[in-house]
A and B are shown apart, each in its own frame.
Chain A
Amino acid sequence: MKIAEAWARVKAVRTETLVRAACVLGLVALPFMVTSVFVPTVWPVLVALSFGQALGTLSFALYLVAIARDLQLARRLRSRDAKDDAR
């Protein structure tokens, strides 16, 4: 039930907002992921492999949600146009 509610909330967000949130999350995630290359000690590596990866994955997931929504919308518009043409 909670997942359905969360999904409904995501669906209500504008695509532009979703993509901007994905960009911000991506910008936050990138330094976390790369720091471990320059400082290969325990904490930077752990943070890169956990927090950095999680933020990066979430950012990409938001982008995919935005694209999926766009495709869904385009399909709906096409089917509506097809129905209109049929009438």
Chain B
Amino acid sequence: MSAEGGIDWIGWLSAASAVAAAGVLGMHLVRRPPLSGERGRNTKLWLLLGLGVFPITSAGTANVAGFAATQSRTFCGSCHVMEPHAEDSNDPRSQSLAAIHARNTSFGKDNCYACHKDYGMYGYVLTKAGGMRHVYLYLTEYHDMPLEESKHDIRILRPLPNANCMACHTTTAPRWLSIGDHASSLEAVRSGTVSCASAGCHGYAHPMTKLGKELDAGAAH
């Protein structure tokens, strides 16, 4: 998928390869050409295209398109428990941290991935492995969970590390340090004892989920 949400050239290449492969395979099944003799050699070459070259091209390009799609907000929001998060990001009037980032034209449509991915050398692989864990949990625990219950109960496994924010927002720039709260909490931000996405700082990324068990816990105290 392209940034605009349509199908980009790699998607069309995948589809075209699949159609070509299907054409070759369909023709073989209908016409049943011989596999031996001189004509058999041609048949085998056509089958190499229909069973090897075209499907491998189709699968490879579909994989690239598929992995790119897994970074989009549409993909993240396709599990019902994530719908409120995606809707909030889609809302042009929302002032949540997630929605503000979604309006960034550089990565807006991939804002879930941009903030939640693991950084570092193996970040991509670790993020994808973590995604599989989400799928497993969704299948085994959350698939039939009502939306209100999911907003109340489902939380991120570990608090979002400030390092994810600092991947884009440097804490060394003079402009950043010129803000009093930044300068006074510099060590706490870097060490992670104060979260950038906390109520006293930039606010929650997904405030709609903070009306659940956090409030219950507060009331209990």
User: A residues engaging B (CB < 8 A)?
Assistant: 15-16, 19-20, 22-24, 26-27, 29-31, 33-34, 36-38, 40-42, 45-46, 48-49, 52-53, 56, 59-60, 63, 66-67, 70
Known: A31-B18, A40-B66. 20 other contacts (CB 8 A): A15-B35, A19-B47, A23-B25, A33-B14, A33-B58, A33-B62, A34-B14, A36-B65, A37-B7, A37-B61, A40-B75, A41-B78, A42-B135, A42-B138, A45-B75, A46-B135, A49-B66, A52-B62, A53-B59, A63-B51
Number of interface residues of B (CB under 8 A): 39
A48–B138 alpha-carbon span in the complex (Å): 19
Interface of A is mostly: helix
A26–B138 alpha-carbon span in the complex (Å): 31
CB-based contact B51/A60 at 8 Å: yes
The 5 A-B pairs at the shortest CB distance, nearest first, are namely A40-B69, A41-B78, A37-B11, A23-B25, A63-B51
17 CB < 8 A contacts A-B: A20-B32, A23-B25, A23-B29, A23-B51, A24-B29, A26-B51, A29-B55, A30-B55, A31-B18, A33-B55, A34-B62, A37-B7, A37-B11, A40-B1, A42-B78, A56-B55, A70-B44
A20–B29 alpha-carbon span in the complex (Å): 7
CB distance from A33 to the nearest CB of B (A): 5
User: B residues engaging A (CB < 8 A)?
Assistant: 1, 7, 11, 14-15, 18, 21-22, 25-26, 28-29, 32, 35-36, 44, 47-48, 50-52, 55-56, 58-59, 61-63, 65-66, 69-70, 72, 74-75, 78-79, 135, 138
